[in-house]
A and B are shown apart, each in its own frame.
Chain A
Amino acid sequence: MIVAGIEPQAEMVHWWFATGVLILGLLFFAETIVGKEVWARRPWRRYLWPGLLFLLGVLMWPVMALYTNSMIHMVAHGSWAQVLMISGAAELGVARGKLHSQYWRLTVAAAMIISGTAFLVHEQNGWYFARAAFLHHALGWTLLVASVFPLAQAFRPRSTVAASGFAATFIVIAVLLYCDRDSAAILGHFSTFAGVPHR
């Protein structure tokens, strides 16, 4: 519930998260282009994207607390916060050298599966109800399908296809989040129950 205009609109929060996700996408692409060895040459760079992933998880908690308009929203935002923090922490452990197994990348795959499922479960309207509903469905399926990339990376860490697919996924997610509006039409469809449409 937005409190007397003090809190930003939900769509703005989505755009801020989109910016974080866009940064992640660029970092993943850059790492894929230069290779893991060159990327790891500067210690701070190793912590960059796992740290950002963890930070996005931390920032998801206020979203859970302040934008809870139903039980299922709270569960969805809470589960995103947890899986983002778990996968970020696991990748930070790998970057620090405390964790060694390549299979820690499975935490990212799990995070994407849980996040995708949460997107689909907490959107109770159909695809063409409004743009926000469409984007929730699109984001959920994108995350579920794209979880194949970190899954592949866990078993084939040097796969360029998996790394590129993983990076591209984050760019797609950023674009979808930037497209979000609290109430707007999607491909000419807008439910009469969805409020006043914006551009």
Chain B
Amino acid sequence: MSADIAHRLQGEREKERTAARSARVRAVLAMGPATVVAGIVWALVQPWRLTLLHPHGQGLWWLLAEPPLYVALVGVLFRLFIAPGLVEDLEDAGR
């Protein structure tokens, strides 16, 4: 195999690796917002699951039990606390 072909193949492999890495970075960064969107869509489809929208006469537990908000909160926490470190480590691993 000539040196030119070997260099070209190596370059193509490097591009593929970079593309796969950036796809993974995008996937990790999208997970949190996708979860938040799922929570918001659920709240819009079933607003009665959010007792905060009609709080009168609700007990403490019912005011704390807001499942669509839990889903959105999980997405926010993932985006803020898990995703940034993972992306940083993914990029470090690629260097």
Question: Interface of A with B (CB < 8 Å)?
Answer: 5, 8-9, 11-12, 15-16, 18-19, 22-23, 26-27, 29-30, 33-34, 37-39, 41-42, 45, 178, 199
> Given the known A-B contacts A12-B65, A199-B48, are A30 and B86 also in contact in the complex, defined by CB atoms under 8 Å?
yes
A-contacting residues, B31-90, CB 8 Å: 31, 35, 46, 48, 59, 61, 64-65, 67, 70-71, 74, 77-78, 82-83, 85-86, 89-90
B13 contacts partner chain A, Cβ-Cβ < 8 Å: no
* Contact count band on B: 20 to 34
A8 & B65 in contact (Cβ 8 Å cutoff) = yes
Additional pairs, 9, CB under 8 Å, beyond known A16-B70, A30-B31, A39-B86: A5-B59, A9-B61, A19-B74, A22-B35, A23-B78, A29-B31, A38-B86, A38-B89, A42-B85
Question: Given the complex, which residues of B lie within 8 Å of A18, measured CB to CB?
Answer: 67, 70
A12 and B92 CA atoms in complex are apart in Å by 42
A11 and B66 CA atoms in complex are apart in Å by 12
Question: Interface of B with A (CB < 8 Å)?
Answer: 24, 27-28, 31, 35, 46, 48, 59, 61, 64-65, 67, 70-71, 74, 77-78, 82-83, 85-86, 89-90, 92-93
A34 & B31 in contact (Cβ 8 Å cutoff) = no
Question: Given the complex, which residues of A lie within 8 Å of B82, measured CB to CB?
Answer: 26-27, 30, 45
**Distance to closest chain A CB from B79 (angstroms):** 10
A30 and B81 CA atoms in complex are apart in Å by 13
A15 & B24 in contact (Cβ 8 Å cutoff) = no
A33 & B28 in contact (Cβ 8 Å cutoff) = yes
A30 & B89 in contact (Cβ 8 Å cutoff) = no
> Given the known A-B contacts A8-B65, A30-B31, A34-B28, are A15 and B70 also in contact in the complex, defined by CB atoms under 8 Å?
yes
Question: Given the complex, which residues of A lie within 8 Å of B85, measured CB to CB?
Answer: 42, 45
Question: Given the complex, which residues of A lie within 8 Å of B74, measured CB to CB?
Answer: 19, 22-23, 26
Question: Given the complex, which residues of B lie within 8 Å of A45, measured CB to CB?
Answer: 82, 85
